[in-house]
Structure 1
């Protein structure tokens, strides 16, 4: 027997559950996983960086930078913070406006499940979409659950399955395939917020070493920590800049992001001129990094041996260390996917398709990608809310 519902939501992640909590009516959320919100569970080291105090449109990448403005303005970080507090979840700010649960990230999953139940939405886990079509009026889906198939029809279909990031958790391009089937174009997609790699393993002796940097590429800069790995570079600054890096391009690392090293070395030369140059530099950055760069920069002699011009050249090189990654760790470790369903085919107010009424696409499935630090969760909440509100208002 075919079951008729109002809304079928594909994906029980952050955006899908948020949408279900606001869609109202007869809503069914399905997911292939055995538990909802698996990416929420592992996020933020298990404490979920659920939003950022500084969320604004400029924290997002898209071919249409204006697309995200409507949803973000109507469902803000303050709205989600209020929801968190109403559920009695304690939270704290770490750095750069990043908000985390004091307890476990499963509290956010519980919040969303509670909100869905309050709205009357149903959740089917370990459920597979076998077939999907549209007859000009309603969507027709065949679902497989517990070894049995169930035919479902729905007025609305919401694509909330995300992108390809972290395939070991079941991530696929399903949302993109469905969108294309119904006339939507895709922008270029690639891994984002991902470590960068170097084919010749130049940092083997530096693996595990971290330091504050300003990483720059393609006009963007981020001042946070970088971490050397046996395969290349990671850490917040590198993950951020990876969203702007393209294969073949260089990145620049400023190892003196505060810009004080030159004057400091000059002052130390007056007081401790007999100190070895590499020893002096190792007081301001990891000694392993200084040793790694010493042959390239010709670091030798004492501080007293260095003229102002020589010190300026050394610091200039440290502030513009240019590197050319050969690749990235790929979708395997990428936190998000850059690109997705072209926003030209969607309403920025409702997230509804301009090609097929009743079809919605939200969160990571869409060509809107946030910076590291809670921004992608806020986009999930805002885009899920926008679609849910539109569905509810349509009745």
Structure 2
């Protein structure tokens, strides 16, 4: 490992590798380093091992931030189509799963290999098992234009531009730490409080015991919290509820708030119930619900209602109760499963002191922040990777 570089990127994940390859392609001497023993660990585990690397329908509205306008510039300058072109250039086969989500047909290793090859081709060096102990700002001179000196477990290095691409706190077993936030605070940046995002909801007491008996059952539903709604699957688990719609709403839910679930979002429930009552008056409510849900789930909802008579026996009050439950099942989670399984970290470095064009700190010349460490979080479905590509490319292009 050489001692001096024009650019050092801390974090060999999606954003860091994209930034390193982009800067090196411009002729910069680049080092990408990481404390982990493997690069792009979250890339490797994402999408069930097939990496949901972007989405066909990327819009600024797919991102959460205290400054919703911050993401617009980078996303417009490096789009999903740009990354798809890169995937195609490397001969990677991919497919659309649902809702514009693009996955590798074979393995997420192909995206990791793409990033590694782009760095190698451009001449960016990658150093793993390298722990940064201290970062010290230094006064640049004509002889030595470096602005930062880093002490690491394998020696000292210095650089003119330092890029923090260390990610957030999600999935600590894969090496996630708060290092990036510590660097930001060292240089006077504000950090918005962090919390786990895209994570399952947990329940307690009697409701948890009931959910345990339903573990493995899934339902296509519309899940809402405050003014946000997502129509995808929900999944009963031994700890509560998961599935895409639940992960999405977890970004918006706060403890004590209700979550509303329309269990039949594609159906006029009043008309559906009336039609079944007219056509099958002898059918029990449970067996009617079992046309849509599993027997176990149908039985659970009948128990919640305290109703399981024949359809012809439903009075007006009971009919209204059935419709209300199916259209607006209201639940109160006890918490989140947390960082252990969270796909992202909400909050992070305040973007008001970061350039939306270059991603350079407005407080410390030569210091850049990209990817998940920033207060920008995407929805489930490839949006967080697209943010990594876009922010990494924007910073790398400006170096």
TM superposition score normalised by structure 2: 0.95
Partner residue in 2 for 1:326? 334
Say what the alpha-carbon RMSD is for the aligned residues. Answer: 1.3
Partner residue in 1 for 2:144? none
Question: Aligned match of 2:99 in 96, 105, 109?
Answer: 96
Pairing 1:163–2:168 present: yes
* Equivalence map 1:188-227=2 (5 Å): 188-200=193-205, 201-202=208-209, 203-227=211-235
Residue 376 of structure 1: how far off its partner (Å): 0.2
Asked if the contact 1:195/1:235 (under 8 Å) is kept, the reply is: yes
Q: How far apart, in 2, do the equivalents of 1:11 and 1:80 lie? A: 20
Q: How far apart, in 1, do the equivalents of 2:240 and 2:102 lie? A: 29
Pairing 1:128–2:131 present: yes
C-alpha deviations, 1:293-324, integer Å up to 9, x for none? 22331212111112456423311222111111
Pairing 1:57–2:60 present: yes
Q: How far apart, in 2, do the equivalents of 1:252 and 1:130 lie? A: 47
Query: Unaligned stretches of 5+ in structure 1?
Result: none
Pairing 1:31–2:34 present: yes
Give the 3-state SS of the residue equivalent to 2:192 in structure 1: coil
Partner residue in 2 for 1:4? 4
Q: How far apart, in 1, do the equivalents of 2:13 and 2:138 lie? A: 28
C-alpha deviations, 1:84-131, integer Å up to 9, x for none? 001111111010000001111111111111111111110001111122
Asked if the contact 1:2/1:151 (under 8 Å) is kept, the reply is: no
Q: How far apart, in 1, do the equivalents of 2:170 and 2:139 lie? A: 33
Partner residue in 1 for 2:155? 150
Q: How far apart, in 2, do the equivalents of 1:257 and 1:150 lie? A: 59
Q: How far apart, in 1, do the equivalents of 2:212 and 2:89 lie? A: 48
Asked if the contact 1:32/1:127 (under 8 Å) is kept, the reply is: yes
Partner residue in 2 for 1:105? 108
Partner residue in 1 for 2:264? 256
Pairing 1:17–2:17 present: yes
Q: How far apart, in 1, do the equivalents of 2:48 and 2:375 lie? A: 26
C-alpha deviations, 1:265-309, integer Å up to 9, x for none? 211211210111111111112222222222331212111112456
Q: How far apart, in 2, do the equivalents of 1:251 and 1:97 lie? A: 26
Q: How far apart, in 1, do the equivalents of 2:333 and 2:309 lie? A: 32
C-alpha deviations, 1:190-225, integer Å up to 9, x for none? 000000101222412111111111111121000000
Query: Unaligned stretches of 5+ in structure 2?
Result: 141-146
Partner residue in 2 for 1:140? 149
C-alpha deviations, 1:353-374, integer Å up to 9, x for none? 0001110000100000000000
Misfit runs of 4+, over 6 Å = none
Give the 3-state SS of the residue equivalent to 2:234 in structure 1: strand
Q: How far apart, in 2, do the equivalents of 1:105 and 1:52 lie? A: 15
Question: Aligned match of 2:120 in 117, 120, 129?
Answer: 117
Q: How far apart, in 1, do the equivalents of 2:135 and 2:348 lie? A: 20
Paired residues in the alignment total: 387
Residue 261 of structure 1: how far off its partner (Å): 3.0
Give the 3-state SS of the residue equivalent to 1:22 in structure 2: helix
